[in-house]
Amino acid sequence: MKTVNRFGLNLIALMLLSSTATLFAQTPEKLTPTFALAIDVKPLEAENTPGTLILLVKYTNISDVIQKDHCAVTSRAYKMVVLRDGLPAEKRKTQTENTDKSQDSGKTGTYRIKTLLTEEDSCHGVDKGIKPGESVKFPLWVSSEYDMTVPGTYDITVTREADRWNPEKSVTVKSNTITIVVPEPGVVATQ
């Protein structure tokens, strides 16, 4: 009887181990990032009006091979994480967001065409390869998506997926975080 019980326990343990091994075998391996991100505030120039904030994003190839990344300088490939006083800042409403909602409400005969973009369709940037250790920079307008005139302390980080086209294998690459203080009207900002 002891042999039957021991055999039954061993069989149950084997079934549990095999299902666990199968689960790990099906988990996709995450990629190692091949690039690093760093951000800095772009110096004030003629295009900067009060409330305008432009970042300079620096994309650096940290791999050992030349990268052909057409999205390296395409702002759509990046996400901004903007916190105001520790809470997610509210995004500006765009013209297309306002009109998209009103176009379909109750109208008959209104159609939308949705398309899937490939990397070549959505990214236009670096045509030549980025050598190991080489960096490219491009501007990213924070104030086009967020109202930077509202007083508060803003923490801004830029992120990008290592592989946008295979999210199950991708890892999120984050830049450094920049803090911007927008003072109350009439108060001088200190940093």
pLDDT tens track for 24-82 = 555 557 678 899 999 999 887 766 677 788 999 999 999 999 988 888 888 888 999 99
Residue with tokens 């084997």: 14
Please tell me the distance from the alpha carbon of residue 85 to that of residue 83, in angstroms, as a whole number: 6
The answer to whether 162 and 173 have CB atoms below 8 angstroms apart is: yes
Quick check: 117 pLDDT over 80? no
What string of DSSP letters covers 26-44?
Answer: HSPPPPPPSEEEEEEEPPP
DSSP state letter for 63:
S
126-167 pLDDT, tens per residue?
Answer: 678 899 999 999 999 998 899 988 999 999 999 999 887 788
Please tell me the distance from the alpha carbon of residue 12 to that of residue 180, in angstroms, as a whole number: 58
Please tell me the distance from the alpha carbon of residue 100 to that of residue 105, in angstroms, as a whole number: 9
Q: What is the band of 102 on the pLDDT scale with cuts at 50, 70, 90? A: very low
Q: Is the pTM of this model over 0.75?
A: no
Domain covering 30-101+112-182: architecture: Sandwich (2.60)
67-86 pLDDT, tens per residue?
Answer: 888 888 888 889 999 999 99
What's the confidence (pLDDT) of residue 11?
Answer: 63
The answer to whether 141 and 78 have CB atoms below 8 angstroms apart is: no
How are beta strands 135-141 and 152-161 bridged, if at all? unpaired
What's the confidence (pLDDT) of residue 100?
Answer: 46
